[in-house]
Amino acid sequence: MSQNSITDTLDVSLISPSITSYKSIDGTLKLGIMASGNGSNFEAIAQAIDDGRLSAKIQVLIYNNPDAYAAVRAEKRGVPVVLLNHRDYKRRQDLDRQIVQTFQQYGVEWIVMAGWMRLATSILIDAFPNRILNIHPSLLPSFKGAYAIEAALAAGVKIAGCTVHLICLEMDSGPIVMQAAVPVLPDDTPETLHARIQVQEHRILPDAIALAALSHSNLRRKPTS
């Protein structure tokens, strides 16, 4: 069986929960995106908004790497960009205070860490409780950290994938919102596996944002006993 045949066979039902366009969100979500690199997940979110799949508006992009192509992507779409270089701050808390201030200035309601390579402190988490999402290239809780794909290959797993989760103080933890599985092929390298995982990241991230917002809204409406 060819690599494409394997991928096509396994791809059908390995997203959970199933991808759906969540049309029942009240209003338009006001998103703040955080990115450190290429920004392909930023692009996936923006495209989902353009396609009417996600009822949201990107209020601002914060990036910490001056060379991040994510900023170029945002500027092309007319999204405000703010560089907050972590090297300019002595403490993580100081950076997060500035992040919070910036997001509040732009009226952000939900934060999406779309390739943000910095740990969050309680300063940021407490300012947006249960409203910060992260995408990670593994099936959490397995393979946390910056080298998740390399660790998965080293462990010899046959299924890898990606996870969208709400963040907490512990790295790559917090409640899982959505996951997609990706087969590990016999001749995979970190680069080839990462490329296939990214395809699934782009598929699930917009819907995970909508699902998290819908769940958060329903929880707030639920009457207390």
Interval 182-207: pLDDT, tens:
999 999 999 999 999 999 999 999 99
Tell me, what's the pLDDT at 107? Answer: 98
For 26, which DSSP code? -
Confidence of residue 27 (pLDDT cuts 50, 70, 90): confident
- Average pLDDT on 40-60 reads 96
Asked if 136 is an active-site residue, the reply is yes
Q: Which amino acid is at 215?
A: S
Q: Element (H or E) spanning 16, and its range?
A: strand 15-16
Q: Return binding residues.
A: 39-41, 92, 134
Q: Tell me: the pLDDT tens digits for 117-174?
A: 899 999 999 999 999 999 999 999 999 999 999 999 999 999 999 999 999 999 999 9
Question: Which domains does the chain show, CATH number per domain?
Answer: 27-219 (3.40.50.170)
Active-site residue identified among 86, 136, 194, 216: 136
Q: Tell me: the pLDDT tens digits for 52-104?
A: 999 999 999 999 999 999 999 999 999 999 999 999 999 999 999 999 999 99
pTM, entire model: 0.89
For 130, which DSSP code? T
Residues 204 and 18: their CA atoms lie apart, in Å, by 9
Residues 115 and 14: their CA atoms lie apart, in Å, by 22
Q: Over 60: is that where the pLDDT of 5 sits?
A: no
CB of 200 within 8 A of CB of 12?
no
